[in-house]
Chains A and B, each alone.
Chain A
Amino acid sequence: MFENVFDMNERKSFLKKHITGITIGIVFGLALVIYLLSMLFTGDTGYVIVLVDGQEQGIYSLHEDREIRIETDRGDNLLVIGSGQAYIKEADCDNQVCVHTQPIKATGGQIICLPHRVVVRLKSKEKSEIDAVTN
């Protein structure tokens, strides 16, 4: 009789005792799944989009090493694409924020040069930027 009651308590408390671990496990599992899925979708990071004044100026592959001079009415930027990443090497603006921005290599990464209204952004696929603006 006594043992039976003890057993009942034991079983009831199993969930209670391990619920924290279970909760953490589920969330970590979920995080891992989402992480792997996002890796799957952004695996083919590959395009550098250059926007001037919000208008698409050019699109380049991230895997071809080259230097691109971005010319705007307000000034020029020198974009360098090499070894799977992109960065601004030179800019004839005052603040040089874009030059100091870390090289971008993952989808969604972007470099912004406000004085010249230039945005350099990485996209996974070669589709129009309009999609991203409207959704």
Chain B
Amino acid sequence: MQSRTKKIAVLGLFISLSLIFSYIESIIPVPLVVPGAKLGLPNALIVLVLYAYGIREAMVVNVARIFISGFMFGNLFSIVYSLSGAVFSFVIMILAKRIKFFSVKDVSILGGVFHNVGQIVVAAFLVSGMSVMAYLPFLLVAGVVTGLCNGILAEIIYKRGIL
């Protein structure tokens, strides 16, 4: 019973922390080749929760984060947009985690890459054109870089075993 209470409290903290990360990211413009590319710091937390707790818990944090940050800093469109990337990346991360030789870092990299792939697929539908696909190679590289950063971060925290 006590551990259940602890889990709820910790997950609540994770949601609020990821909201803070979302907020920080929304006010810091990252000058990258691709417009709108972000570090995706909340994803480091998602990876961490995925490893420390499990799929269900990570999904709760993920969905809660997207909706709350969407209502606070964005609009309905941005919710749909980030949800598309998050769902895509989350499914890939669950699958990748099952493969034994993937470490936390690799799962995070794949998550970052497929987050961008998911978003660009949805963007292609919304803008109704394949011209957005020209961004894909840059987004793939950006996904690797951000995924690696987040993965290293998540791995360090996970290996400390404080959760």
Contact = CB atoms under 8 A, between A and B. Distances in A.
B148 to A, nearest CB: 7
A24 interface: yes
B75 interface: no
B97 to A, nearest CB: 13
Which among B101, B102, B131 has the highest number of chain A CB atoms within 10 Å? Answer: B131
Nearest to A18: B101
A34 B133 CA distance: 9
Interface string B120-135: 0000000011111110
Interface in A18-52: 19-20, 23-24, 27-28, 30-32, 34-35, 38, 42
Contacts of A54: none
Contacts of A31: 136-138, 140-141
State the main secondary structure of chain B at its contact with A.
helix
Interface string A110-135: 00000000000000000000001101
Contacts of A34: 133, 136-137, 140
Interface in B76-99: none
Interface residues of B, number: 23
Given A27-B144, A28-B141, A132-B129, A38 B103 contact: no
B153 to A, nearest CB: 14
Nearest to B143: A27
B144 A19 contact: no
Contacts of A108: 129, 131-132, 134
A15 interface: yes
B65 interface: no
Contact of A24 (B101, B103, B129, B144): B144
A16 interface: yes
Contacts of B57: none
B103 A20 contact: yes
Interface in B113-163: 113, 128-134, 136-138, 140-141, 143-144, 148
B50 interface: no
B128 A19 contact: no
Minimum-distance CB pairs A-B, first 5: A108-B131, A35-B137, A31-B140, A31-B137, A34-B137
9 contacts: A19-B106, A20-B106, A20-B109, A24-B109, A34-B133, A34-B137, A108-B132, A132-B128, A132-B129
Interface of A: 15-16, 19-20, 23-24, 27-28, 30-32, 34-35, 38, 42, 106-108, 132-133, 135
Given A24-B109, A27-B141, A38-B134, 17 more contacts: A15-B101, A19-B101, A19-B102, A19-B103, A20-B109, A23-B102, A23-B109, A24-B144, A27-B143, A27-B144, A28-B140, A30-B140, A31-B137, A31-B138, A107-B131, A132-B128, A135-B130
